[in-house]
Amino acid sequence: MSLKPSEHDINLLICGTIFNLIGRTFAGLTGFPGLLNVTGTMYAAYFGGPAIGAFVAIISSAISSIFVHRDLYGIFVEFIFALLVAFSARKNKYISRFFSVLSLALTLGIARAIPMTVVNVSFFEGKTGLFLPDATIDFLNVLGMPFLFQSFMGTFYYCFTDTLIGLLLIFFVRLSTKQYTKRKNAMRLKKALGKKATLGLLLACTLALPSINVKAEDIGHENYVAKVYNNENGLVGGCANDIVQTSDGSMWVGTYGGLYRFNGKDFQLINNFNSVRSVQCLHVDEADRLWVGTNGSGITVLDDMLNAYIFDESNGLISNTIHKMVEDSEHRVYVATTNGVVVVHYEDGKVVVDKEYPEIGNVESISSNGGKVVAVNMKGQIAVYSPSDAEPVSFTKEGATCATMGNDGALYVGTDYETICKYRLSDGNYVLEN
C-alpha cells in the first residue's frame, strides 16, 4: 500500500485548511458564537479519512494560533475530534438524512465539548473567549450552577454550533452530488434513447403484429386477482419483513409481531417459542428446515414437525440481531448480523459454526448466487465470500447499499446515488468496469 498522498487527498488537505482559516477569521471579525474552525476538518475527515482530517486540524490550528494564541491549546483536541469524525461519521447513514444529521451533531458536539472544557478550565478560567457562550456562563453563574457545568455549557454552545455547520455542509454536498449524478444519468439515457429512437420504432412496427397474436392466445393465462392480507383478515403482526415457502406448500411470513404460517386460507401465529419474536428474516435450507432470524433473540431453526433448535449468543452466535440469511453451493448458511457474518451448517440436530467474519461489522445486505456470497455493511464496505477461498475479497464503494453476483460472473453494486456499478475480478481484486 502506497503512503504517497493522491491528488484527491492533497486537494482535500488544501481546501479543508482554507475552509478552517476562513471560518476562524469570519468568526473573529463578526463575533459569531463559534470558532468555525472545524468545518474544513470535518469535510476533509469525512471525504478523505482520519489522516487527512487530522492533518487539516493540526495545520489550520497551528496557523490560526499565530494570530489567536489560545487556538494553540486546542490543537490536540481538534486532532482527536478529526479522528472521531472520520471513524464515526464517514459513510454513515446519519449523513443521508437531515434529522439524523442533527442527532449526530449533538453527539459529536458533546464529544468535542468535554475535552475542550478541560482546556478552558485549565488555562482560561473556564471561559471560551466568545461573547454569547461567555454570557451563557455568566448567566449560569448567577443561577448558582456548579463551575464545571457553567464552563461545559458555554463550551458546548460553540462546539455544537461548529459541528452542526460542518455536518450540514457534508449533508448538502452529498445531496448535491446525488442530484447531479441523477441528472447526468438522465441526460445520458435521454441522449442514448434519442440516437436509437428511429431504429426502435422500426423494430416495434416489425414485431407488433406477431406480438399481438401471441398475447391474444395467452391472455387467459395472464390475468391475476389481487387480494390484500392485513390485520383485518388474519395477518395482525404488522409489517411483513420476509416471506418464504416450504415444500409442504405453507407460506411463512415473518413480522415484528412474530411468525405466521399461511395455508392458503388462514394465518396461524406460531407462538410456541419465546425466541420467535420480532422476526427480521426467514430462510428455507436444502433439507426444508425453516431458519427464523430475529431482532434480538438470535436464530430459531424449525423442522417440519416444529421441533426447534435455538442458536444465539449463548451457544456461539456473534450477535442476536439477524439481518438476513443466505446459502452457498455447499449448503452452508451465511448469517448477516450487526457484528459481522457467521458461516454455519446444521448437523446432528444443532447449528455448527464454520467460520466468523466480524471485520465486516454491521451488515446491511447479503446475497448469494449459489456459488459466491456478497455482503455489504453500513459503511459501504463490500466482501465477496467463496467456499474455495479462505478469506473474502473486500473493497469499499462510497454509498453502496446492496450487491449481487450476476450469471455473467460480474459483481453488481447498487448505491444510494441511484446508480449500479459493475465490477470484474482481476488479479484477485474487483475492478470497476468502464
394 is written with which cell numbers?
A: 473486500
Confidence of residue 187 (pLDDT cuts 50, 70, 90): low
Confidence of residue 194 (pLDDT cuts 50, 70, 90): low
Q: Which pLDDT does position 216 carry in this prediction?
A: 41
Q: Which amino acid is at 202?
A: L
Most trustworthy range by pLDDT among 73-77, 148-152, 247-251: 148-152
Q: Which pLDDT does position 375 carry in this prediction?
A: 96
Dmax (CA) of the chain: 88
pTM strictly above 0.85: no
Tell me the mean pLDDT in the region 331-335.
94
Residue 1, pLDDT above cutoff 60: no
Q: Which amino acid is at 236?
A: V
For residues 102-112, one letter each, b for 16 or more C-beta atoms within 10 angstroms of the residue's C-beta and e for the rest, the string is eebbeebbebb
Most trustworthy range by pLDDT among 2-6, 103-107, 353-357: 353-357
- Tell me: the pLDDT tens digits for 5-22? 778 889 989 999 999 999
Q: Which pLDDT does position 96 carry in this prediction?
A: 65
Higher-pLDDT residue of 86 and 358 is 358
Q: Which pLDDT does position 209 carry in this prediction?
A: 41
* Poorest-pLDDT segment among 55-59, 215-219, 334-338: 215-219
Q: Domain residues of the chain, as ranges?
A: 7-183, 270-432
Q: Which pLDDT does position 370 carry in this prediction?
A: 77
The alpha carbon of residue 99 and the mean position of all alpha carbons in its chain are separated, in whole angstroms, by 16
Q: Which pLDDT does position 89 carry in this prediction?
A: 59
- Which whole-number Å values give the CA distances from 139 to 52, 143, 303, 306, in the listed order? 39, 7, 67, 66
Tell me the mean pLDDT in the region 132-147.
92
Task: Tell me the fold of 270-432.
Answer: Methylamine Dehydrogenase; Chain H (2.130.10)
Q: Which pLDDT does position 318 carry in this prediction?
A: 94
Yes or no: say if 75 and 57 are a contact pair by the CB < 8 Å rule: yes
Percent of the chain with pLDDT over 90: 53
Confidence of residue 219 (pLDDT cuts 50, 70, 90): very low
Contacts of 232 (CB under 8 A, 6+ apart): none
Tell me the mean pLDDT in the region 128-153.
93
Yes or no: say if 347 and 354 are a contact pair by the CB < 8 Å rule: no
- Tell me: the pLDDT tens digits for 26-71? 998 998 989 999 989 988 888 788 889 899 999 999 999 999 999 9
- Average pLDDT over the chain reads 85
SS3 labels along the chain: CCCCCCHHHHHHHHHHHHHHHHHHHHHHHHCCCCCCCCHHHHHHHHHHCHHHHHHHHHHHHHHHCCCCHHHHHHHHHHHHHHHHHHHHHCCCHHHHCHHHHHHHHHHHHHHHHHHHHHHHHHHCCCCCCCHHHHHHHHHHHHCCCCHHHHHHHHHHHHHHHHHHHHHHHHHHHHHHHHHHHHHHHHHHHHHHHHHHHHHHHHHHHHHHHHHHHHHHHHHHHCCCCCCCCCCCCCCCCCCEEEEEECCCCCEEEEECCEEEEECCCCEEEECCCCCCCCEEEEEECCCCCEEEEEECCCEEEECCCCCEEEECHHHCCCCCEEEEEEECCCCCEEEEECCEEEEEEEECCEEEEEEEEHHHCCEEEEEECCCCEEEEECCCEEEEECCCCCCCEEEECCCEEEEEECCCCCEEEEECCCCEEEEEEECCEEEECC
Q: Which pLDDT does position 205 carry in this prediction?
A: 46
Confidence of residue 373 (pLDDT cuts 50, 70, 90): very high
- Tell me: the pLDDT tens digits for 98-131? 777 888 889 999 999 999 999 999 999 999 999 9
Yes or no: say if 277 and 321 are a contact pair by the CB < 8 Å rule: no
